[in-house]
Amino acid sequence: MAQEALRVGLLGYGLAGRVFHAPLIAATPGLRLDAVVTADPQRREQARRDHPDARLVDDADQLWRTADTLDLVVVATPNRHHVPLARAALAAGLPVVVDKPLAVTAAEGRALVAEADRLGVPLTVFQNRRWDGDFLTARRLIEAGELGRVLRFESRFERWRPAIKPGWRESGTADEAGGALYDLGAHLVDQAVQLFGPVRTVYAEVDRRRPGAEVDDDAFVALNHDSGVRSHLWMSAVAAQLGPRMRILGDRAGWTTYGLDGQEAALRDGGRPDTPGWGEVPVDRYGQLGVDGDLRPVPTETGRYQDFYAQVATALRDGTPMPVDPRDAVDTVALIELAHRSAARGEVLPVQG
């Protein structure tokens, strides 16, 4: 007999909820999008069109009063609401997926993880770019020794958006945790630490380049890993010419790839991961491996955002680990905070053990 689908409540139907979480939940066998929480009339209408079988709820308190009708809650709200909503879900006994960044501060994130541990309720964080095709390819090449000993990792999320967009991501208030470093940096830092391990020191340059900008829109972060690798990370809304998405330099060879993983664009266009060809990269976009004068294209791994929620479903049914340890997300926020302090002081700062 087929198991009943796990019922999911989604908090928020902005960019994160509408483009990422709702489609991935709907495409995951064993999960059912049961409820969408949003009070915005336009977003309610959009959710009704996109997911007609899901019930629409005005506020999260309604979910907590009927917690026994759900099996999982996804927090896809503005950053400042992540911790209080996740804490309320845990108190209601509901497992939680929180969009990145987990929290505005590492202290808040650490307390949230401790609360989940105390209550024995699963908690994980949507670090979806661990399932980007280029990241998966980088990990494959490193583990296979194709690069030799890695010396430097360069990674970029660069865009050309000279006009400031309305919304909380461009807000200047500290509790919003807006700006490029919290938004894009949460992915870049997480990927670097996943590939090369703990960080010893941090140096950052963080700027507001566009007229009227309230938050950082152009940043560079240098991480010195305990492993000896140096990660150089760029995130920008004002890159008129885009650099390589990744360049990894080893003592045997290098690997360079251009262009963002296509899964986000596909989701924005209404694509779904259960369609043929999802996450595949055409041959003409393969990265180049080798040394100058002796380069060869290597196939890019297929991107697999759908694996995140598939692992969530398995974890809830079988008690296996959630796909992302929330402690990793706390460490990422701590490094982002340290990067902001480094930029303010103009100094290389040590990571406190």
Predicted pLDDT of residue 2: 57
Among the residue ranges 76-85, 164-173, 191-200, the one predicted with the least confidence is 164-173
What is the pLDDT of the chain when averaged over all its residues? 95
Q: Where in the chain is the domain with CATH 3.30.360.10?
A: 133-304+335-350
Predicted pLDDT of residue 170: 76
Q: CA-CA distances (angstroms) from residue 144 to 56, 139, 148, 276, 298? A: 48, 8, 9, 28, 13
The burial class, CB within 10 Å (0-12 / 13-18 / 19+), for 111 is middle
Predicted pLDDT of residue 3: 77
- What is the three-class DSSP state of 238? strand
Q: Is the pLDDT of residue 329 over 60?
A: yes
Exposure on the CB side of residue 48, measured as CA atoms within 13 A: 9
**% pLDDT > 90, the chain:** 93
Architecture of domain 6-126: 3-Layer(aba) Sandwich (3.40)
Q: Is the pLDDT of residue 106 over 90?
A: yes
Predicted pLDDT of residue 165: 83
Position of tokens 């483009």?
19
* Burial call 212-233: b when 16+ CB within 10 Å, e when fewer: ebebbbbbbbbbbbeeebbbbb
| Confidence bin at 1 (pLDDT 50/70/90) | very low
Q: Which residues touch 107 (CB under 8 Å, ≥6 apart)?
A: none
Q: CA-CA distances (angstroms) from residue 31 to 7, 22, 293? A: 6, 11, 50
Predicted pLDDT of residue 169: 78
Q: Where in the chain is the domain with CATH 3.40.50.720?
A: 6-126
pTM for the full predicted model:
0.95
Among the residue ranges 134-138, 144-148, 176-180, 188-192, the one predicted with the least confidence is 176-180
Topology given in CATH for the domain delimited by 133-304+335-350: Dihydrodipicolinate Reductase; domain 2 (3.30.360)
Q: Is the pLDDT of residue 176 over 90?
A: no
Predicted pLDDT of residue 167: 78
